[in-house]
Amino acid sequence: MPDVNSLVNEFLIKLKKRKIEGSKATAKLTAELLRSFISQKRLPHTNQAGALIDAVKAVGEELIDANPVELAVGNIVRRVLHIIREEDLSLTTAAVGGLSLSAESDNEDDVDQGDHPALSAAAVAAAARSTLRPPSLQTLLEDMPHSTAVPQPSSSGGDSEGKSKSADKNSMTRKLKHNVIEAVNELIQDISTCHELIAEQAVEHIHQNEVILTLGSSRTVTEFLCAAKEKKRSFRVFVAEGAPRYQGHALAKELAARGLQTTVITDSAVFAMISRVNMVIVGAHAVMANGGVIAPVGLNMVALAAQRHAVPFVVLAWGSQVLPCYVVLLCNQAELTISIEKMLAYGNILCPLYPHNPEVLLNELKSPSELLDFGEFSDCLDFGCGSGSPLLHVVNPAFDYVPPNLVSLFITDTGGHNPSYMYRLLADYYSADDLVVRRRSTS
Amino acid sequence: MVAKKGGNRGVVGEDAEEELKRDRLQAILLADSFATKFRPITLERPKVLLPLVNVPMIDYTLAWLESAGVEEVFVFCCAHSKQVIDYLKNSKWFGQPNFSVSTIESHNSMSAGDALRLIYERHVISGDFILVTGDTVSNMPLTLALKEHKERRRKDNNAVMTIVITQSKPSSITNQSRLGMEELFMAIDPDTKQLLYYEDKANDLKGTISLDKGLLMDKTSISLHNDKQDCYIDICSPEVLSLFTDNFDYQHLRRHFVKGLLVDDIMGYKIFTHEIHSSYAARIDNYRGYDTISKDIIQRWTYPLVPDVQFFGNCATKLERRGMYRASEVGLSRSAQIGPFTVIGNGTSIGSNTEISDSVVGEGCIIGSNVSIEGCYIWNNVTIEDGCKLKHAIVCDGVIMKSGAGLEPGVVLSFKVVVGQQFTVPAYSKVSLLQQPVKQDSDEELEYADNSRGVIGIPSNSNTPEKLNQQFSTKLSDSHRQTVSEVGNGGVGFIWSLGEGGHEEEWRHSVAPIPADRLVEISKTATDELEISNRDGNVLPPSGELEPDSVDNDSDEDIRDDYAYFEKEVEATFLRAVHENVTEDHVILEVNSLRLSYNLTSTDCASALFYSMMKLALDTPHDTPGELVKNFATAITKWQKLLKYYLTSIDEEIEVILKFEEMCLESTKEYSPLFVQVLHLLYDKDVIQEEAILNWAAEKEEADESDKLFLKQAEKFIQWLNEASEEED
């Protein structure tokens, strides 16, 4: 245990000190940490899933607090919680389902066939609540028989079958943990291979002799463009350099090395060039449930330019980037602060993400020294004269918020989606109960 | 992790031996500034624990060291060592993975030198180490500087230290940097970055600095900077510690150690500089530095060491619009106006219609309504009642300001002071519950003045303010035995009389910005001074000093200048010898030392001495040329031994004749008709041999007609000499 604790602490410190950067790296590290946490967690004999969920929640809360701006952490925690619930569910259904299915299956079939619409709605709602499973498309279409079969055992904490099948218990203990770890492994795998899944779709979107514009650098975008190139598509890429970090330079270098026609432009030249562009492809920091995007700074400007010239604005995002909350841009351009709306309307469940503080700054203001050399400008920052307040301010926000109406298409590892469809994806990835990771948030 | 990886990368590529030798990267953190600039606050709490934007200074230093890849830190505690150690014990710094912090306690160290000597005795430092003080705020990566240092070390074992500098132009009016430190002059070799000269007390020199001429001889180019700031971050080799032990009189890191190494050319130790450009590094030296660095932190130059990043143990703070940082539980009245670049700490409540701007407010403060706070640093648990007005002040923990009280710019209220109702504390005053210690002998070295620090500590509980007050009043007259203290009705505390610099200098180092009228005043006096110095411009600067701008001159000119100075010095020495009857041996010694310091040859000495003698003869009152010759004859008789000492060969004798010729032409025209007579005299006195004169004549044969003026004069004499030598044959 102390081993895991130190691991957790180390990770916390890294997060706090902003030593981990990039949503993917963070996501992967978080998933790996949670995997080792789960594998070392000793579970009680009863209500394992509940205990595990509580434990993971406790850790997750700390992780999220460490860097509230790095949304990937929270998303991965929610994903893992969701996995635990699902595995628990499938285990209990496997154990009890065999006996009870025959009795209830007929009913369920009826429901599916829509014979009793009123009943079905209630049943679905009850099932969703009791199994902690949100009404995702998959649930609605595929998993119905299983999920509705469980309410009784799972709600009673599994003690009923615990009495009857004590022999099975030990194996189950191990099995739950084993399955969860397996699934988390799969998640980690997904995170590392999501580029490929996204890149596979490149040929469907990039056509011969097109001009693509991108800003800054993103691993996903690089892979996406290169995948199209490998499929013998010939096209040109405009790379906006992405001040102040100028990651676009690195991207241009890499693209040129892979044999792509590349042109580097300044960020301020985007509007001038956009009329010659066929499509804008960018990466994202996080995707909001409403289809809005938190992206590297400068992208809102690109999106507006693209809209003005009716150029498709495509965002590449992978599953765990989708954030289960709406975001509202509250303040003006100068401050560039993004606040999360207090309440999230999700179906008819209201999910407050940060119930105690309606205004959460989601932007990270980085060091001004990325823009200017401190030494050179130190003369302007002499507080010894005048009123004592500085005359020169340097603001260096890391992110922009691109509203959903500017986004034409999301390409995720599961395919292309319309912004208005993004909230649907949530149900596949997250459990509604986990949207608030903070425990006892209502009290 | 980034920095850490970087740290390892710095080592990759160096040979395996180095890899083996290199163990943990260590750092020495001096948790004591050995100065008294932050008094009276530092009488009660060590400087490193003073909050800087609500986080103790030492946390900034430790967090930076940790992120820069340092693995082991030795915190040297001296003043209030118990407080520092207790703080570290209660913080999370002990028991961090890959980052060990240990303390070294001392009660009798009075300077950084003492501290380093003590650390040397402990034998804890095994390799290169970082030397910083506990009041350093930085986010610079050490990788590059360390790599440079190590590479230099491999090539040259004498490169013992690398100091980190950054660009910062001092104000042209006040001649102090933005951190309130005095203008710093540094000479750096632009190619190797070697530090050649370091002067941080340039103000005392009245606009001139003196460079060792040797520097100009050895180096092809030197850049002289006054726009650099010393960050007081040093990368040292272990030799530094032993050097401190060897030179037990080294106390101050810069004033003694750095300057000592620069002057000492016997051991040949070298100091290098590393300039940082984009990253931030600064040390809090005085109140102005405290103000400036606080504002830099709020403006995020120190990222990631900023209030909204929990870099260590600080509570969660959120950055809101217009650069306002607010902790999670702040009771803020709707009508309160919080201006930009303000930090409000946890659990603080602010009343209605209160205005706060450019300020830092700590935790648990209670601020009433209609209060105006501008540019202040308010620490924890401070109570400010309704209607107070605070401007550019530092208010320490537990202070109570009764309603209607005011603070004028530059005020420092130490711990638990109470300011009475409607009382306004005058500008630049420092108020403390403790009495001002009796003025110690005003040693220029402030750092020694602080001997008793370790003993004073915090006043024990029995030593209540009332009691102190009593002591105070008994010591003074009975008229002070009243409830009305120095700080208003119901107030508690003593107003300290102003420090060494007096009121005149107080504005330089206070938190308050320098008032505009003061700036005008200074610039006026500065121009006046400039005029005066211009008028005096013709007078040569005192010996051994060069105008800073003469550095740019050609080295040729420099040498000539040097010779002129040398000649003057020799003349002065000689005259002193004449008037004070100094023996010849002593004169020779003095001239020799002058020759060494100016790096000239003995030929130069001979001609300079000869010149002095001629000058002496010339200055003795005389009416006719004949008398002049007589004067000269007496001088030369008296001092010929001295001259002879330097005339070891014919060449030097010829040099003297040439010098004489030159003098006759230029400086002392009186001698020109007497050329032959003097020459003859010299010959008679055996100062100059016949051979030398003949050689000189032969040499001159080939010269231009104009140069032959004196040769013609001496023709007869030379002829006679020739004949005489033939006769001898």
Mark yes or no for CB contact B512/A388 under 8 Å: yes
Strands B418-419 and B400-401: parallel
Bridge partners of residue B229, in order along the sequence:
B166
B637 Cβ neighbours under 8 A, 6+ residues apart = B685
Gap from B1 CA to chain A (nearest CA, Å)? 6
**Number of domains making up chain B:** 3
Gap from A240 CA to chain B (nearest CA, Å)? 23
Domain end (from B445, B478, B504)? B504
> Once rounded to an integer, what is the mean pLDDT over residues A8-21?
77
pLDDT digits (tens, 9 = 90+) for A311-369: 999 998 876 555 544 333 333 232 333 333 322 322 222 222 332 333 444 667 788 88
Mark yes or no for CB contact B277/A374 under 8 Å: yes
pTM for the whole thing?
A: 0.70
**Range in A233-242, B439-448, B630-639 the model is least confident about:** B439-448
Decide which of B105 and B453 is more confident: B105
In this structure, chain B runs to a length of 729
Query: Do B354 and B475 share a domain, yes or no?
Result: yes
Give the Cα separation of B371 and B375 in Å (integer). 13
Q: What is the 3-state secondary structure (H, E, C) of B676-695?
A: HHHHHHHHHCCCCCHHHHHH
pLDDT digits (tens, 9 = 90+) for B319-350: 776 678 888 788 888 898 888 889 998 889 99
Strands B400-401 and B383-384: parallel
Q: Is residue B37 one of the residues assigned to a domain?
A: yes
Task: Tell me which chain A residue has its CA closest to the CA of residue B314.
Answer: A16
ipTM of the predicted structure?
0.71
Query: Where residue B353 sits, what CATH number does that domain have?
Result: 2.160.10.10
In this structure, chain A runs to a length of 443
Query: Do B263 and B396 share a domain, yes or no?
Result: no
CA A286 → CA A275, A289, A315, A323, distances in Å?
Answer: 27, 10, 10, 6
pLDDT digits (tens, 9 = 90+) for B410-425: 899 999 999 988 899 9
Query: Do B472 and B562 share a domain, yes or no?
Result: no
> Once rounded to an integer, what is the mean pLDDT over residues A75-104?
70
Q: Is residue B548 one of the residues assigned to a domain?
A: no
pLDDT digits (tens, 9 = 90+) for B251-293: 888 888 888 888 877 778 889 999 998 889 999 988 989 999 9
Query: Could you give phi then psi for residue B326, rounded to 5 degrees?
Result: -135, 130
pLDDT exceeds cutoff 50 at A6: yes
- B174: chain A residues, CB-CB within 8 Å: 384
Give the Cα separation of B284 and B100 in Å (integer). 25
Query: Do B163 and B248 share a domain, yes or no?
Result: yes
Query: Do B286 and B320 share a domain, yes or no?
Result: no
Mark yes or no for CB contact A367/B300 under 8 Å: yes
Mark yes or no for CB contact B304/A375 under 8 Å: no
Let me know: does A240 contact A213? Beta carbons within 8 Å: yes
Q: Does A66 touch chain B (CB under 8 A)?
A: yes
Query: Do B393 and B478 share a domain, yes or no?
Result: yes
Give chain B's mean pLDDT.
Answer: 78
Of B122, B119, B196, give the one whose Cα is nearest residue B163.
B196
pLDDT exceeds cutoff 70 at B317: yes
Concatenate the DSSP letters of all residues of A170-219 into one string: HHHHHHHHHHHHHHHHHHHHHHHHHHHHHHHTHHHH--TT-EEEEES--H
Other CB atoms closer than 10 Å to residue A427's CB: what's the count?
22
> Once rounded to an integer, what is the mean pLDDT over residues A238-258?
92
pLDDT exceeds cutoff 50 at A169: yes
Query: Do B211 and B331 share a domain, yes or no?
Result: no
Run of H or E residues at A416: strand A415-417
Q: Which domain holds residue B363?
A: 315-437+463-504
Cα A21 from chain centroid (whole Å): 15
Q: Is residue B84 one of the residues assigned to a domain?
A: yes
pLDDT exceeds cutoff 90 at B305: no
Query: Where residue B211 sits, what CATH number does that domain have?
Result: 3.90.550.10
Query: Do B480 and B592 share a domain, yes or no?
Result: no
Give the Cα separation of A63 and A31 in Å (integer). 12
Nearest CB among A9, A369, A389 relative to B278 is that of A369
The three-class DSSP label of residue B366 is strand
pLDDT digits (tens, 9 = 90+) for A259-311: 999 999 999 999 999 999 999 999 888 777 777 788 888 898 999 999 999 99
Q: What angle do CA B295, B301, B304 make, to 5 degrees?
A: 115
Mark yes or no for CB contact B302/A367 under 8 Å: yes
Q: Which residue has the tokens 């203290």?
A: B485
Query: Do B617 and B682 share a domain, yes or no?
Result: yes
Give the Cα separation of B63 and B96 in Å (integer). 11
- B318: chain A residues, CB-CB within 8 Å: 357, 360-361
- Structural domains in chain A, CATH included, are 2-194 (no CATH), 196-434 (3.40.50.10470)
Q: Is residue B277 one of the residues assigned to a domain?
A: yes
Amino acid at B537: G
Gap from A355 CA to chain B (nearest CA, Å)? 13
Query: Where residue B677 sits, what CATH number does that domain have?
Result: 1.25.40.180
Amino acid at B515: P
- A33: chain B residues, CB-CB within 8 Å: none
Query: Do B482 and B559 share a domain, yes or no?
Result: no
Q: Is residue B306 one of the residues assigned to a domain?
A: no
Q: Encode B643-661: b = buried (16+ Cβ within 10 Å), e = exposed.
A: bebbbeebebbbbbbebbb
Query: Do B11 and B124 share a domain, yes or no?
Result: yes
pLDDT exceeds cutoff 80 at A201: yes
Query: Do B147 and B196 share a domain, yes or no?
Result: yes
pLDDT exceeds cutoff 90 at B389: yes
A68 Cβ neighbours under 8 A, 6+ residues apart = A360, A362
